[in-house]
């Protein structure tokens, strides 16, 4: 799926080969108890996040001779769990932080969460939680 056909991809980044583009969930800089975290701590926690929304994937991603059918390939908007330090952090032209990683770094798809962009209020709640921080 190219950027022109994918309204979720406002990053200006189009993965190729076996790569996917994921927007990690945000880490809050203030705890529920009102304690402000140091910027260095927030940055470290952000890189340790292991939950996010798949924004884009290359045509070759998840395309192996291992029995995965086209209908099994996740689409942009899928909620995913990925390896803790997978891929590299990049900033999109939209100013948001993304991770570009190998498709094999995606460990699971979260079927019980609302896909990014379909129900704005529910997605905003999910993105605000940052549950997988170390």
Q: Place 131 in a pLDDT band, splitting at 50, 70 and 90.
A: very low
- The secondary element (H helix, E strand) that includes residue 47 is helix 39-48
Q: Place 125 in a pLDDT band, splitting at 50, 70 and 90.
A: very low
How do residues 50-106 score in pLDDT, each as one tens digit? 899 999 999 889 887 766 667 777 889 999 999 888 899 999 999 999 999 999 999
CA distances from 38 to 30, 31, 50, 83 (A): 9, 11, 21, 25
Which fold would CATH assign to domain 3-129? 10 Kd Chaperonin, Protein Cpn10; Chain O (2.30.33)
Please state the domain extents for the chain: 3-129
User: Can you give the pLDDT at residue 66?
Assistant: 66
- For Cα atoms 79, 127, 121, give the angle at the middle one, nearest 5 degrees: 100
User: Can you give the pLDDT at residue 63?
Assistant: 82
Query: Tokens 């803790």 appear where?
Result: 84
2 contacts 83 by C-beta, under 8 angstroms = no
């Amino acid at each position: 799926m190219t950027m022109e056909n994918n309204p979720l991809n406002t990053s200006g980044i189009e993965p190729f080969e076996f790569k996917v583009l994921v927007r990690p969930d945000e880490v809050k800089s203030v705890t529920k108890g009102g304690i402000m975290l140091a910027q260095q701590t927030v940055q470290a926690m952000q890189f340790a996040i292991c939950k996010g929304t798949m924004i884009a994937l290359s045509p070759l991603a998840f395309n192996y001779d291992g029995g995965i059918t086209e209908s099994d390939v996740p689409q942009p908007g899928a909620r995913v769990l990925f390896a803790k330090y997978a891929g590299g952090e990049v900033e999109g032209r939209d100013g948001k932080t993304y991770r570009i990683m190998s498709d094999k770094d995606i460990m699971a798809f979260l079927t019980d969460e609302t896909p990014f962009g379909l129900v704005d209020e529910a997605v905003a709640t999910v993105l605000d939680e940052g549950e997988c921080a170390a």
